[in-house]
Amino acid sequence: MIPEHHRKIIHIDMDAFYAAVEQRDFPQYRNRPVIVGGSPYSRGVVATCSYEARRYGIHSAMPSAHAYRLCPQAVFIKPRFDVYKEASIQIRQIFSRYTDLVEPLSLDEAYLDVSDADALQGSATLIARAIKEKIKQQVGLTASAGVSYNKFLAKLASDIDKPDGFYLITPEQGPEFAEQLPIGQFHGIGKVTSAKMQSLGIATGKDLQQLSLVVLQQHFGKAAAHYYNICRGIDHRPVNSQRVTKSVGVETTFQQDITSRQEILLHLQELLDTALQKAAEKQLAAYTLTVKIKYHNFVQVTRSRTLPYTVTRAAELLEELIKNTDIGESSVRLLGVTLSSLENKSIGKRYEQTDLFRDF
């Protein structure tokens, strides 16, 4: 195993990926605010937007209607996921010229471990710059790259000089870099944990360093060791080129709220059929089914059931999951279905999980 300070990790993050693909393919959209996502006249949201649109305060997951109010002259485009996937495949083929240790996080970002790479004298800096240049030449898109000795710092580095950025954090710089970071920017510290730390007077990495591992364990249990390390710039996570799919899910937002219990069940059945099809394409079977319901007032609930057998399209299970909800009384704006606790059919191995992640 390579010592952490001897590892060479690159994080590649495509710049405004979906919007950049649209601007590449349609010259009339270049240098204009482009928003990829739902229609501004619907309940859709922004999937991503060009840097020209970001100047107006528009960002991913913002309701499209609100984005339109901020920038009515923006070009709104429906996503073309098949085209984005094709570009992503081209980009990953470029990665493979330098290392087999590639961990895709999504269509537009990935970690690369080039610790043992032979190309370009084994220099992570030169490899990252070469990858950026090849993506620009061969795919027609720009990427930002971060280079460091672990995944946590490499990902932070890739965001520093966007777009078309490059940033290096050396082993000597890592601890000091972590000291000045706001707590919310540390890997594994979400909003709830961040708020708890703030209440304890912890606002930065340096503040977190003042607490001993014993004290952290008293407040944060098993996660304490991770927090103790990460604030010192230590992250032992390997680049995993064999990532296991942890869940498969789909959801839909309705143009108009729906109330009919029967109509809701029909929509859930369609979503389940789609999720099962996606799982089958990956040769996966699921033991856990989760239903997500968002009401007209944005209150959201989930109901989950783990079975002793694999999930099928049985309507009875959907009926059971929505039994103790407000369906039929409160109108619904969004429904979602997620399959988890997955088993790879080809090798018969079951993967347990506690967190739910959603694929496109």
Number of H helices, E strands in the chain: 13, 13
DSSP 327: B
Whether the Cβ atoms of residue 194 and residue 202 lie closer than 8 Å to each other = no
Which amino acid is present at 326?
D
| Active-site residue identified among 109, 176, 251, 320 | 109
Which helix (H) or strand (E) is 225 found in, with range?
A: helix 224-230
CA distance 91 to 24: 15
Q: Which residues contact 119 (CB under 8 A, 6 or more apart)?
A: 97, 98, 127, 130
Could you tell me which of 256, 280, 283 has the C-alpha nearest to residue 267?
256
Q: 177 to each of 206, 229, 354, how far by Cα in Å? A: 10, 13, 32
Q: How confident is the model at residue 357 (pLDDT cuts 50, 70, 90)?
A: very low
The percentage of residues in the chain with a pLDDT greater than 90, rounded to a whole number, is 64
CA distance 301 to 299: 7
User: Each residue of 275-300: pLDDT tens digit?
Assistant: 988 888 778 888 899 999 999 888 89
Q: What is the pTM of this model?
A: 0.74
Could you tell me which of 334, 360, 330 has the C-alpha nearest to residue 252?
334
DSSP 227: H
For the ranges 100-104, 260-264, 346-350, the one whose mean pLDDT is highest: 100-104
CA distance 119 to 115: 11
CA distance 230 to 171: 13
Q: Report the chain's mean pLDDT, rounded to a whole number.
A: 89
Q: Which residues contact 251 (CB under 8 A, 6 or more apart)?
A: 271, 292, 334, 335, 336, 337, 358
CA distance 100 to 96: 6
CA distance 335 to 112: 36
Whether the Cβ atoms of residue 163 and residue 16 lie closer than 8 Å to each other = yes
Could you tell me which of 155, 148, 208, 157 has the C-alpha nearest to residue 179?
208
Which residue has tokens 């992570």?
Answer: 124
Q: How confident is the model at residue 96 (pLDDT cuts 50, 70, 90)?
A: very high
Could you tell me which of 149, 309, 153, 175 has the C-alpha nearest to residue 232?
175
- What value does the mean pLDDT take over residues 203-231? 94
What per-residue confidence (pLDDT) applies to 359? 31
Whether the Cβ atoms of residue 166 and residue 130 lie closer than 8 Å to each other = no
What per-residue confidence (pLDDT) applies to 306? 86
User: Each residue of 109-148: pLDDT tens digit?
Assistant: 999 999 999 999 999 999 999 999 999 999 999 999 999 9
Q: 150 to each of 69, 168, 189, how far by Cα in Å? A: 41, 11, 17
What per-residue confidence (pLDDT) applies to 188? 85
What per-residue confidence (pLDDT) applies to 2? 57
Could you tell me which of 255, 252, 258 has the C-alpha nearest to residue 330?
258
109 is catalytic: yes
What per-residue confidence (pLDDT) applies to 329? 82
Cα 262 from chain centroid? 33
Tell how strand 284-295 and strand 332-344 pair up. Answer: antiparallel
Does pLDDT of 26 surpass 60? yes
Task: Determine the 3-state secondary structure of 275 from DSSP.
Answer: helix
What per-residue confidence (pLDDT) applies to 336? 92
Residue that wins the pLDDT comparison between 341 and 145: 145
Domains annotated on the chain, with CATH: 1-170 (3.30.70.270), 174-230 (1.10.150.20), 247-350 (3.30.1490.100)
DSSP 245: P
Which amino acid is present at 310?
T
Tell how strand 34-37 and strand 46-49 pair up. Answer: antiparallel
Bridge partners, residue 14, by sequence: 143
